[in-house]
Structure formats: C-alpha cells, structure tokens
Amino acid sequence: MPEVLKAPLVVEFPFTRSLGPVQSAFLTGLRERLVLGVRTSDGRTLVPPVEYDPVTAEEIRDLVEVAPTGTVTTWAWNHAPRRDQPLDTPFAWALVRLDGADTALLHALDAPGPDAVHTGMRVRVRWAGERTGAITDIACFEPYDDGPDAPDGRGRAEPATHTGEFDDPVTGIVATARLDYTYSPGRAQTAYINALAEHRNVGERCPSCRKVYVPPRGACPTCGLATSEQVEVGPGGTVTTFCIVNIKAKNLDIEVPYVYAHIALDGAGLALHGRIGGIPYDQVRMGLRVEPVWTEGARYPDHYRPTGEPDADYDTYRELL
Amino acid sequence: MSKEPVAVVGIGQTKHVAARRDVSIAGLVREAARRALDDAELTWADIDAVVIGKAPDFFEGVMMPELYLADALGAVGKPMLRVHTAGSVGGSTALVAANLVAASVHGTVLTLAFEKQSESNAMWGLSLPIPFQQPLLAGAGGFFAPHVRAYMRRSGAPDTVGSLVAYKDRRNALKNPYAHLHEHDITLEKVQASPMLWDPIRYSETCPSSDGACAMVLTDRAGAARAPRPPAWMLGGAMRSEPTLFAGKDAVSPQAGKDCAADVYRQAGIADPRRDIDAVEMYVPFSWYEPMWLENLGFAAEGEGWKLTEAGVTELDGDLPVNMSGGVLSTNPIGASGMIRFAEAALQVRGQAGEHQVERARKVLGHAYGGGSQFFSMWLVGSAPPDA
C-alpha cells in the first residue's frame, strides 16, 4: 500500500475576550502591580477572582487586595518549556496561595532546578517590565526568603478592600489559541490525490449501493460499508447547481465574481465542488457540460470549462444536486 | 411506565446585539439564565441540573464551556451536561434537558445556549485550511446558495420569494425587543436592491452575526402546578441526523428533517400539520429556507412551499405565521439560535410574546437545523398538557 499522506495543520486564531467587571479589575490591577481577589459570602478570598459565588451562585463584586507574596501549595517541574510558555528555561508550574487568599493561583516559578522547589516554600511575584493588563504581567514567581518556612496561614493580614476602579481599565484581551495537528486524509483520499497528479479522478464504489464516491472516504456513509473498488470517473461532468460568489474571502486568492458549482463527474454518485471558468459567469447554467482544466504544478483542476456539448437533461442529474 | 409531562415555566434571553463588550461569556449566559429563573419565580436552589449548548468550539475557542460556566449557572454540586450539534444545538440542548424531566431523572432543569460571535469569526471557524483540500469557499452562505438555486429550479418559484421572507422577518423583528436587527426603515425595495453576495442570496436575505444567550426552565407536572404564569407543554420532540454529503442526499429537503417532523407529529397526534399547528418558528438563516422547510416539515406539498410565502400565509397576521420573533434572519447568536426558536414557540403558546403574539396560538412548532443540513431538532409545544 502506498504511503498515506500527512501534513501539518495549524489552527490559530486571536480570540478576543470581553472581561466583564471582575476580570477587568483583576487584570487592570496586575498592570498596576497589585493582585485583587474577591470575597465570597462565606468569607473566603478567591484569587484569581470569579464573578459568581461557587457556593451560593450569587454575583460577587467585593474586591480585596492580597499580598504579592505567598506559599507554594503544590507544583510540577517543566523540563522542556514550549512555545509561548512564561519562561524559556526549565521552571516549575506552581499553585501559589498568596498571603491573604484562600485559593491558589497557577503560574510559573523560576527556580534553578526541581531540587530547589518544595511545597510550602515562600515565593513572591516577579512583575514584568512592560505590563498591559494580562496574566503575563506577572512574569513568574521567584523564591522569597522571609524566614523559615511558614506554616499555613502565615503572614495573613486581613486583605484590604479595593474598589476595583482604575483609570483607563482594561476591558478586553486578545487570547491567541493555537493547535498543531498532523493531518492525514487517510488511505482512500491519498489514493485519490495521487491519481489527481496523473489528471485522473479515481473514486471508490460501494459494494452494496454501487454508488461511486469521489472523492472517496473509504466507506459509504449510507450503507456503512468499507469501499475499496477503485473506479475512474469523468473527466467530463455536468454542473448540477451553483452560486455566483461576489464577495472576496480573505483566505482565497480568487477574483470575484466567480462561479462555485456542484459538478457531477460522469459516473460519480454525487457531485464534487469546483469553480467554472472559460465562460462569462452570468452564462453558467444548471446542466452545463464541463471538463477540468489543469495548470502546471497544481494538485486540483484550476477550474472546469464548457465542453461545448448540449446541456444535460435535468432528469439525468436531478438526484445529483 | 409513561413519560412525565414536560412544561416550560421560565424563558429568558438577552437583548441580542453585534457585540456585548460589557460582559464576559459567563456574564452573558448568566443574564439569560437569571431572566428565565425570574420568569419562573425560582431560585438557583430550585434547579436540579443544567444542560448547556453552544456551536463549534472554534467559534469562540472555549473548549469546555460547561467547566468554565458552572459557577455562573449555579451548577456547582449538580449535574451539568454540554450538548453539541452545530447550528441545531440550541434545539437539541433543550430536548436533552426535556428528556431528563420526561424520564423523571430530574424535576426541574435549567437549559441554555449561547454564542458570543464578536469574540471570534464564524467564517474563519468554518473555513479551516485543511491540507490537500482545495480552498474554494469561505463561510456558510456560499455553501447553502447552490441548494437554494436547486430549490428554485425544482419548485419553479419566482425570484422574489426570498426577498418577501426577509422583508417579513425584519418587520416581525421590529415587534421583538430582544431581536438584534431593528431596521425601522426596511422596505421590500431595499431588500431587493441589496447586493448579491452568493447569487441567488442577497445581503438582506442573510442572517446577522450576534452575541446572545437564551435560557429556559423545564419542569415536571408538579413544577408546572406551582408556576406563576401559564406553562408551555411539550407535546412532541425529536432529533435526527444524516451525513452532510452522501450519494442520494436531498439537500433541498433532507430525509432526516422529514423523519424528525414525522416523529414529532406522531408523538403529538398531529394528522395534518397545516391544519393542526397554529404557527412555526423555524431556523431560516437564509431567506429561501422558509419555503424549503415549509415543504420539508409537511406544511406544503413538494414544490408548493413558496406559494404560502407569496400569498402572505406566513405573515404575522397570516393563517400560518412563520418566524414571529423575526427569526434567525434578524438574530443569530449561532449556538443559541435553535433554542431561541424553541423558546419563541413556548412564548407563543404561553401568550407571553408581546407585540409579536399570534392570537389563539395553541400549538406551535419550534425547529432547528445545523451542519450542512445534517442535524435536525424540533419540538411541538401546546397551551394544554399532552393528556388534556
């Protein structure tokens, strides 16, 4: 069996986030080098803060300022930092309970090695030089020697209330998300793509309903059976339906207007999708007979053009729209 | 053992807009949920479980909304489920919640769905650069436009029908304070003069991109007896799916849609939907889907749906009003859009639809679809309980 195709697929988008009042105060506070939490109805202080009380579900807006020092409650060593992580040298992921808080915040702890980290160790915030109102305004935590390891609750002054009001508050952030995949189209589509290199359209026939799938998926979705019998279809086909695209998409290098059509290649059990050229866009019609036009080095036909044959009768393609 | 009757006793939605920059996603869903609880005169403690839905993860980049939103929805210590069936998700989410009540698993369930489209870009989310595939299109409009042309060919409908739908829905939206688009100066001429985007679909015949959430409180017979306002009773509900593309697929009138409607009508004892159902709130993201779904749902014979639209039957004061709320054409927070259809059906039979209330609306169908006409979910609600 020929090797199955593989290629990287990167899915990346700069999602925006409207922060709402609590996260706005929290992130603006970081910009101003202070850490805010919320006070819940049962008197606990949550850092990072939440908008709604986890116990009563009521809205909470009572903000308090906690200390930039705290205690590691647990941690894991990161041997090999990855892209966009807080530090580019090995570090500890640590849960840090800041002095005055009842919950812990996840962040990076800069330490020379895992032997230098332990639960209960004292740490403090290392502020980033440039702060924008983001969690990265805390560059990381660093070891902080304020005496022998403290028992739980050490240095817990009652946190001071804070209005959460700032000049020029941060109200939104950009949260870029990125996923790195290795994509494979699978055995059936690999065979299809390899045949395209010879300008042939090769589909697969369902052993039960006898319909030919182009492109093939390796199985018939109607019968639920694997397909393997290869069948060459086309090269001619019929435009079964279409639209005229008048808006230019950012990710496509196609001049508008153009015709996007469903094309039933001769012998295929369903239509595939392609662009129609070689004819003014406003003269394309259902039933138009077309053939592929290949360009040098392209994987797919650049477009399909009229063959000059008489239009197909509607009844010959009405099931292939 | 017979099923427990399911009642809608609370409905809440946000004012749908292009961008709700004043609230987080949590704040947005909270607003709809709070309004649904207020409508039902219930508190968070009265809720036994929460069922939430949203559209594809790439639309906002929030991979586990049920995890993130538990606090905001009072779900801590309670079962919380997430449902996902593309654009139909608002409908299927409500049905999953309803089934929990019908099966007597829970007495009172909060269900909601949302989308904050301003935080992402749905066109991007639907057009990922898949290796080895030929990029030809971006977004949903170009995908659905060839199906609309196929419908026009098959039915012989005049070109103007799509604009009639858009003109009607945008006028209905003016009566709905929660609708996103309020085009006070809308005219049929303006719809017909709007630019062709994906011929045969014009700009004014497409849905907007909205931020919004919709929530409902569903409860059992005992809960309904305590409700402060008239409940809507679920008379039938069903979901069906089929592949997006397969040999023999009828994209104009998908078999899964027909089967789904038939199941709902069987449950509800509907012999003739055109006669027995008073109004329909259906998922019409592009105007031509109104006549297409009228046929798919059995309100008209094949090829005849456009005649109902053209004759004014589907107007707010017509014999079979369709999309009284202004529909998806006026409001489209994608994940919530299906639930807004279901909620509008319930509002109508409760007599709570305000200016867009249909008189004597006793049985109303709510409909949603999603993917490439792949997922269908529907419910029929009535002003009287199923055994009455």
**What pLDDT does residue B126 have?**
81
User: Kind and range of the H or E element at A229?
Assistant: strand A229-233
Mean pLDDT within B289-300: 98
Q: How far is B151 from chain A (nearest CA, A)?
A: 10
Average pLDDT, integer, range B64-91: 94
Mean pLDDT value across residues B327-355 = 98
Are the beta carbons of B123 and A249 separated by less than 8 Å?
yes
Q: Are A92 and A109 in contact (CB under 8 A)?
A: yes
Decide: B190 and B339 in contact? Cβ < 8 Å. Answer: no
- Rg over alpha carbons for chain B, rounded to the nearest Å, is 19
Q: Which of residues 165 through 204 in chain A touch B, CB cutoff 8 A?
A: 171-172, 175, 177, 183, 185, 189, 193
Please state, rounded to an integer, the average pLDDT across all residues of chain B.
95
Out of B21, B30, B135, whose CB is closest to A171? B21
The one-letter code for the residue type at A82 is R
pLDDT at B59 over 80: yes
What is the number of CB-based contacts under 8 A between chain A and chain B? 178
Question: Domain ranges in chain B?
Answer: 7-122+209-225
B139 CB near a chain A CB, below 8 Å?
yes
For B17-33, what is each residue's pLDDT tens digit?
Answer: 999 999 999 999 999 99
Nearest to A48 by CA among B115, B68, B116, B62: B68
Task: Determine the pLDDT at residue B129.
Answer: 86
Long-range CB pairs of A79-83, under 8 A, 24+ apart, other chains included: none
Chain B residues touching residue A260 (CB < 8 angstroms): 136-137, 142, 145-146, 198
Cα(B294)–Cα(B307) distance, rounded to whole angstroms?
10
pLDDT in tens, B298-307: 999 999 999 9
Contact B30 A222 (CB under 8 A): no
Q: How far apart are CA A317 and CA A271, in angstroms?
A: 9
Q: Is A12 helix (H, G, I), strand (E, B) or coil?
A: strand
Say if the Cβ atoms of A20 and B146 lie within 8 Å.
no
Interface test with B, best of A50, A52, A180, A222 (most B CBs within 10 A): A52
Window B:260-319, CB contacts with A under 8 Å: none
CA dihedral B178, B368, B157, B255 (to 10 degrees): 180
> Which residues have a Cβ under 8 Å from the Cβ of B264 and sit 6 or more positions away?
B236, B237, B238, B270, B365, B378, B379, B380
Can you give the pLDDT at residue B218?
98
Find the range with the poorest average confidence among A264-278, B137-151, B291-305, B324-338: B137-151
Residues 94-133 of A with CB under 8 A from B: none
CA-nearest residue to A23 within chain B is B24
User: How many other C-beta atoms can be found within 10 angstroms of the C-beta atom of residue A7?
Assistant: 12
**Mean pLDDT across the stretch B311-320?**
98
Arithmetic mean of pLDDT over chain A: 94
d(CA B254, CA B264): 16
Weakest-pLDDT range from A82-86, B237-241, B287-291 = A82-86
Residue B69 predicted with pLDDT over 80: yes
- Compute the average pLDDT of residues A93-112: 97
- What integer is the mean pLDDT of B223-234? 98
- Alpha carbon distance B170, A139 (integer Å): 51
Question: What share of chain A has pLDDT > 70, as a percent?
Answer: 96
Of all residues in chain A, the percent with pLDDT exceeding 90 is: 88
CB contact (8 A) between residue B198 and residue A270: no
Domain ranges for chain A: 9-176, 186-233, 236-321
Nearest CA among B156, B119, B109 for reference residue B304: B156
Cβ–Cβ of B147/A241 closer than 8 Å? yes
Query: B158-212, pLDDT tens digit by residue?
Result: 999 999 999 999 999 999 999 999 999 999 999 999 999 999 999 999 999 999 9
Task: Convert the pLDDT of each residue in A143-168 to its tens digit.
Answer: 998 866 555 555 556 789 999 999 99
Distance, C-alpha A133 to centroid of its chain: 23
State yes or no: pLDDT of A20 exceeds 90. Answer: yes
Chain A: residue nearest B47 by CA?
Answer: A57
pLDDT of residue A154: 52
The pLDDT tens digits of the residues spanning A196-213 come to: 999 999 999 999 999 999
Q: Which of B128, B195, B247 sits opposite A213 (nearest CB)?
A: B247
Instruction: Tell me the C-alpha distance between B381 and B348, whole Å.
Output: 9
Q: Say yes or no: B246 contacts chain A, CB-CB below 8 A.
A: yes
CA-closest candidate to residue B336, choices B130, B59, B82, B53: B53
Say whether B247 and A222 touch across the interface (CB within 8 A): yes
AA letter at B14: T
* Residue A229: both structure tokens together: 């019998």
Query: What is the distance in angstroms between the Cα of A176 and the nearest Cα belonging to chain B?
Result: 9
For B225-245, what is the mean pLDDT?
96
Q: Does residue B138 surpass a pLDDT of 70?
A: no
Partners of B147 on chain A (C-beta within 8 Å) are 241, 321
If pLDDT is split at 50, 70 and 90, which confidence band does A37 have? Answer: very high
Task: Determine whether the interchain pair A222/B136 forms a contact, defined as Cβ–Cβ distance below 8 Å.
Answer: no
Q: Residue B124 corresponds to which tokens in the numbers above?
A: 């991007």
In chain A, % helix, strand, coil (3-state, to 5) comes to 10, 40, 50
Q: What is the pLDDT of residue A152?
A: 52
What is the pLDDT averaged over residues B340-352? 98
In tens, the pLDDT along A165-189 reads 999 999 999 999 999 999 999 999 9
Write the CATH number of the domain with boundaries B7-122+209-225: 3.40.47.10
Q: What is the pTM of this model?
A: 0.95
**Chain A residue whose CA is closest to B129:** A9
Omega before residue A68 within 30° of 0, cis: no
- Residue in chain A lying closest to B139 (CA): A249
